[in-house]
Structures are given as structure tokens and as C-alpha cells.
């Protein structure tokens, strides 16, 4: 996945992604849907940009989990109050529960298959306290991702330059994307390559996975944080008696 571009990630995505604005939207959503939430787990936390904003600006206690060790090193330095674990989102076990679980920036697509999507929902459910929520930003649906496109993005730093060229295909129900990077510095030019594969799931498949994973209620906001939509899966507090 991001094994080649870990150190480039913040430079590239800071150009067009407003992590602080998204953290504010998440905060408003939590205050509305789960006002008692204080402890959060960011699944697919990346370099900790959302976690940092949620901690420093909005006062949450945020831990994170990601499969990329390089991301976790950056996140730990950025969010020293949080705990950051390496693990697969479909099978991690932290032996604790959180008021809310977040999975943003379409990280859920990296589970790739419907079976692993259900496993991920079940794993999230194990880590959500009763009365808590999971907030998940999806990847594209099968009818929205057509593939066959090429894109270029560049970063014009003071002492370095980055050019990222990507192309995409659809392979069965997988969005297959190739990224090639040229990183220029005074000492030389480096060429890096990565392939990313994300599963394409329908709205019904996503909602069914959360229900099969043990959540009691699932809502879908078609707009969400960035226009990709947002799922909110709840757990109910057991009735006494």
C-alpha cells in the first residue's frame, strides 16, 4: 500500500485535504449522535492528522491503528498522548472498548472483499462500547468508479519536488491503481512505485456488513465529509430488567 510513499504522504495530501475541517465535522457529528463520547479509536489512522486535530482542538482522547509501520512512527510523534498500534483492521484485538470508532478517508476499501468487510465490521463492534458508534467513510461504489483514468499531482517544495502519476483499472470488484513517484532533491532524483487495491462495495453491501457484524442500527449520509458518503453504525445500551 503506502510502503514506498510513507514519507511523502503528508506533503501530497496536505495540498488538497483539510484534515482539521474534517475533524470539526466529525466532532459535530459525535456531539449530535453520541454526546458522551470521549475516547476514540481511529482505524486506518495514517500519519495521525485526524487524530491530532481531534485531540488538540476538540479535546478527545484518540488512539489509532494502522498496518503501515512508517505511518505509526509519524503518528506517535504527532500525537504523543495517544497509543498507536500496528494491525489489520479486519482482525485487530486491543482488549479495550471505545466510545466511538472512526475509519476515514476511504480506508475501509483496503479490506478488498465482502468477507473481510464483514470481519472488519465485527472487529469494530468488539471495540465499541455499548451506546457507542462507528463512523466510516466509504470508498467508491461499483457504479461510481469506472477506472481507465490517468492523473498527475505535483508538490513544489522549497528543497524538493514531487510528481505523482497514477492510472486506474477495474478488476472484478477491485479498483486497481498504480502510482509512480518522481522525487527530486539536489542530491538526485528517486523513482518509486506502488499499487493500491480497494474493494468496490454497494451501499446495501456496506449496510449489510455492519448489521452482520453486530451493530444494531446503521445510517447513511450520502454527502458525508467529502462527498463520498458516511456510514454511522450504532450499538444500543441494553435495557435493564
| Kind of pairing between the strands at 61-66 and 84-86 | parallel
The three-class DSSP label of residue 59 is coil
CA 69 to chain centre: 15
C-alpha closest to that of 59 among 85, 37, 88, 92:
37
C-alpha closest to that of 149 among 176, 172, 173:
176
pLDDT, residue 237, reads 78
**Separation CA 237–CA 241 (nearest Å):** 12
CA 35 to chain centre: 22
- The string of DSSP codes covering 5-45 is TGGGHHHHHTTT--HHHHHHHHHHHHHHH-TT--EEEEET-
pLDDT, residue 3, reads 86
Hey, CA dihedral for 208, 144, 200, 43, is it positive or negative? negative
Structural domains of the chain, ranges and CATH numbers in brackets = 6-141+200-234 (3.40.50.150), 150-199 (2.20.130.10)
Q: What is the pTM of this model?
A: 0.96
CA distances from 50 to 21, 62, 78, 192 (A): 9, 9, 10, 26
SS (H, E, C) 128-149: EEEEEEEEECCCCCCCCCCCCC
Q: Which residue has the cell 477495474?
A: 170
Question: What's the half-sphere exposure (Cβ side, CA atoms, 13 Å) at 134?
Answer: 29
- Residue-wise pLDDT for 115-162, tens only, equals 999 999 999 999 999 999 999 999 999 999 999 999 999 999 999 999
Q: Which residues make Cβ contacts (< 8 Å) with residue 125, sequence separation at least 6?
A: 134, 213, 214, 215, 233, 235
- DSSP class of 236: P
**Separation CA 233–CA 241 (nearest Å):** 25
Per-residue pLDDT of the chain (241 residues; tens, 9 = 90+): 788 899 999 999 998 999 999 999 999 999 999 999 999 999 999 999 999 999 999 999 999 999 999 999 999 999 999 999 999 999 999 999 999 999 999 999 999 999 999 999 999 999 999 999 999 999 999 999 999 999 999 999 999 999 999 999 999 999 999 999 999 999 999 999 999 999 999 999 999 999 999 999 999 999 999 999 999 999 987 665 4
Hey, CA dihedral for 101, 103, 92, 51, is it positive or negative? negative
pLDDT, residue 161, reads 97
Amino acid at each position: 500500500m503506502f510502503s514506498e510513499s510513507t514519507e511523502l504522504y503528508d506533503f501530497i495530501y496536505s495540498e488538497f485535504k483539510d484534515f482539521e475541517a474534517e475533524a470539526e465535522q466529525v466532532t459535530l457529528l459525535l456531539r449530535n449522535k453520541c454526546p458522551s463520547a470521549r475516547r476514540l479509536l481511529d482505524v486506518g489512522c495514517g500519519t495521525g492528522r485526524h487524530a491530532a486535530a481531534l485531540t488538540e482542538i476538540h479535546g478527545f482522547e484518540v488512539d489509532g491503528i494502522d498496518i503501515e509501520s512508517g505511518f505509526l512512527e509519524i503518528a506517535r510523534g504527532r500525537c504523543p498522548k495517544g497509543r498507536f498500534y500496528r494491525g489489520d483492521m479486519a482482525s485487530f484485538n486491543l482488549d479495550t472498548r471505545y466510545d466511538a470508532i472512526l475509519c476515514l478517508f476511504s480506508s475501509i476499501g483496503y479490506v478488498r472483499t465482502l468477507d473481510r468487510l464483514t470481519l472488519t465490521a465485527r472487529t469494530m463492534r468488539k471495540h465499541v462500547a455499548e451506546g457507542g458508534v462507528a463512523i466510516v467513510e466509504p470508498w467508491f461504489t461499483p457504479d461510481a468508479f469506472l477506472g481507465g483514468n490517468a492523473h498527475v499531482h505535483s508538490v513544489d517544495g522549497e528543497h524538493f519536488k514531487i510528481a505523482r502519476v497514477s492510472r486506474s483499472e477495474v478488476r472484478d470488484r477491485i479498483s486497481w491503481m498504480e502510482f509512480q513517484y518522481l522525487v527530486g532533491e539536489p542530491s538526485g532524483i528517486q523513482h518509486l512505485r506502488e499499487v493500491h487495491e480497494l474493494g468496490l462495495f454497494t451501499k446495501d453491501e456496506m449496510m449489510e456488513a455492519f448489521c452482520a457484524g453486530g451493530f444494531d442500527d446503521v445510517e447513511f449520509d450520502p454527502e458525508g465529509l467529502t462527498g463520498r458518503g458516511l456510514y454511522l453504525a450504532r450499538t444500543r445500551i441494553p435495557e435493564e430488567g
